[in-house]
Structure 1
Amino acid sequence: MPVISAPYAFNEDDLYVDLGPSLGCPLYLKCEGFNFAGSIKLKAAAAMVESAEREGVLNSQSALVESSSGNLGVALSVIAASKGYRFLCVTDSRCNLATRLMMEALGSQVHVINNAKPHDSFLAARLAYVQALCASDSRWVWLSQYTNPANWRAHYRSTAPAIAHEFPQLDVLFVGAGTTGTLMGCARYFRHWHRPVRIVAVDSAGSVSFGGPPGRRMIPGLGMGVRPPLLDTSYVDEAIHVEEADTVRTCRALAHRGFLFGGSTGTVVSGAMSWLASHDGPPVTAVAIAPDLGERYLDTVYHDNWVRALYGDITVPETSPGTHPTGA
């Protein structure tokens, strides 16, 4: 039985869901949402804060600021509350209400960017606000999840080795692409592993991370409005894009089987299922990383009026063991 004194000291790293019985898909889902921040972002947040403390950048006089669509903001809120730091999360109007309320409940401040300048993304507007704030007062410390190598190193040291230990015959790993910290950490680890593993990045349609045209993205988590500075495509074997309607469809299909996951997880599972359904070779051992749980998406992905207004009526395919749902 683990006994902890700090909320960032615990993360369930060995829980997997076999999606065969639920969705008829030969895929194992690594669940990363069972910690006090509710997502995989706790790993990167803890690593970045500890790195800044070691380097003397972050001290008792400092205040943290970070741009986040939600999950990293919650993770930093947990750590800031535990360590006694002031924290300001700069987010935008796509951030789920539950996420904002959670950050505030933990004692953090939240600044919401509601309008970006013409030809600017919400991310660009958030970053501009953070940069201006840091320029105005040296006490503000920006960890910069988009460029901080501690982001990917957290997954090189923890997430990837945990998967390798559990699945020594792993063939394919599906990883969602946001800042690409998780993607790059896992990809680098498996590049140097003892056997080849195909790394498939799963991105949201409308994201420009892998060179696609920009488009509307309403579900926070994955995707970027600018190319992620951490991304090195030489480590990625393939990138696939998932429409947000398919993210919703997959989230709801999982929920109908009793698994309430978040939007990022729905995107990754949708992409993985499509890839596996079109795979013509011999059977493979496949793992996908589930970054989050679904409670923060109750007023969006799981809210009928919100979904209907953006994507129309979403039909969730009936699934049974041994079948591959179509359209997901």
Structure 2
Amino acid sequence: MEVDGEELCFPQLLNTSCRKPTTPWSEAVLLHIVLSSISLLTVALNLLVIISVSHFRQLHTPTNILLLSLAVSDFLVGLLLMPGEILRKTSCWFLGDLVCSLYNYVSFIITSVSVGDMVLISADRYVAICDPLHYPTRITARRVKLCVCLCWLCSVFYSSLFLKDNLTQPDRYISCYGECVIVIDYVAGAVDLVLTFIVPITVIIVLYMSVFAVAVSQARAMRSHITAVALQLSVTPKAKKSELKAARTLGVLIVVFLICFCPYYGVSLAGDSLLNTSSASFVMYLFYSNSCVNPVIYALFYPWFRKSVKLIVTLQILQPGSCETKIL
């Protein structure tokens, strides 16, 4: 049924149904194909990361445990959030108010976990480069696993408090049937901005600026062949070359994350008038696309990831004792 030339999502609900999006058919099909392809690629690539780190015992290092947590959140982005966003932006929401609330809830959890993982990765590199002598004792696999679990639990708890009204009253902010929206009041939005954007981003930048400064000073020291006595007078002990390389790789990961993440909150800061435009959709897709880019960064910079993918694709991981294969 059409009203004023526009089709309704639920024709039987004439007065309470939303209108279908007016995106041209060809444009909608192209958008579906592109976004669905990115979603499938995100799921596949992050699944390879999850299998690699989980299966091969040599990869059970503190840094890789953090990458595993990030890969799980990226996997969920491709599996749940991207398809939900495609449905919400290009079609009517046919899954009901409760599923809409749960979708928004999961979205907040995954976003919080991703930010938390980036903070933990920055802290890991900070200790590895700035205090390498104490790194093996301070950053253990057990402690990192505990931090990852706390990160997920805190994200679940925080999202529950933040979206309490949306979860208890799923239809509270629904103006018509066929839409899935989330409404955040000014105070809650300001708190979320501080806790999930300003504070974490500040911590990440400060930690990595420190890492960068130490890495540069050590690179200069190595190039100019400073004597051992001069090196001993340095405040910071010399880090391993492998640790510096890992810091560079994870630095790229964090920079790409910031490029994809900052516009998302930038649009939020701009106000509601911009959130309803195509700019809001673009920054949302940009933020989600980061989950697809992360495994590509691993493939470009980590030989162990390329080697493990080869073993997975050729099904050699199904052989007995394959978990003990030398990957590094």
Tell me the TM-score normalised to structure 2 length: 0.24
Name the structure with the higher helix share: 2
Larger radius of gyration: 2
Name the structure with the higher strand share: 1
Tell me the TM-score normalised to structure 1 length: 0.24
